[in-house]
Amino acid sequence: MAGAAGPDRENRGVAVAGDIVSGRYVLDQPIGSGGMATVWRARDQVTGENVALKRMHARVQDDPDLIERFRREAQAVSRLSHPAIVRLLDEGQDDDGPYIVFELVEGTNLKALIRDKGPLPPETAASVASQVARGLELAHRQGVIHRDIKSHNVLVTDDGTAKLTDFGIARLLDGDQGGLTRTGTVLGTSDYLAPEQARGLAVDGRSDVYSLGIVLYECLTGELPFPADTPMGVAQRQVRDPLPDPRAVMPTVPPYLAAATLRACEKDPSARFSTALEMSDALLDAPQGTTGVLPVVALPADDEVTGALGITPAPEDEDGATSVRQAAVVVAPPAAAPPPPAAPPADEPPHDAAPGDPVIHTAAKNRSRRLWPGFMAAGLILALVVVGVFIVWGRGGAGDRVGNGAPAPVKVPASAAGGSGAATGDVTTLKLASVKDVDPSGDGREMPAEVPLAYDGNDQTFWRTEKYATPDFGGVGKTGVGLELTLQQPAVATRLDMITKGTGGAFEVLAGPPGADTRVVGKGTFTNGAQSVDLTPGAASDVYTLWITEPPPNVDGDGYRAYVGEISLQGTPG
Q: Quick one: how many helices (H) and strands (E) in the chain?
A: 9, 26
DSSP run (H or E) holding 44 = strand 37-44
Return the bridge partners of 440, or none: none
What is the rounded CA–CA span in Å between residue 519 and residue 541? Answer: 10
How far CA 205 is from CA of 162, 216, 229, 431, in Å, comes to: 19, 17, 29, 41
What is the rounded CA–CA span in Å between residue 507 and residue 104? Answer: 50
How far CA 154 is from CA of 128, 282, 338, 396, in Å, comes to: 9, 20, 31, 24
CA 483 from chain centre, in angstroms, equals 26
Q: Mind spelling out the 3-state secondary structure of 350-403?
A: CCCCCCCCCCCCCCCCCHHHCCCCHHHHHHHHHHHHHHCCCCECCCCCHHHEEC
What is the rounded CA–CA span in Å between residue 446 and residue 61? Answer: 53
**Active site (annotated) includes residue 319:** no
Residue in 137, 195, 142, 197 with CA at minimum distance from that of residue 164: 137
Question: Are 6 and 14 spatial neighbours (Cβ–Cβ below 8 Å)?
Answer: no
Q: Which of 19, 96, 148, 439 is catalytic?
A: 148
Give the sign of the dihedral formed by CA 319, CA 212, CA 240, CA 255: positive
Q: Write the single-letter amino acid at 405.
A: G
Residues 6 or more apart whose CB falls under 8 angstroms from that of 371 comprise: none
CA 427 from chain centre, in angstroms, equals 44
Residue in 136, 56, 52 with CA at minimum distance from that of residue 90: 52
Reduce the DSSP state of residue 103 to 3 states and report it.
strand
User: HSE-up of 45 (CA within 13 Å, CB side)?
Assistant: 11
Question: Are 64 and 102 spatial neighbours (Cβ–Cβ below 8 Å)?
Answer: no
Residues labelled as active-site residues: 148
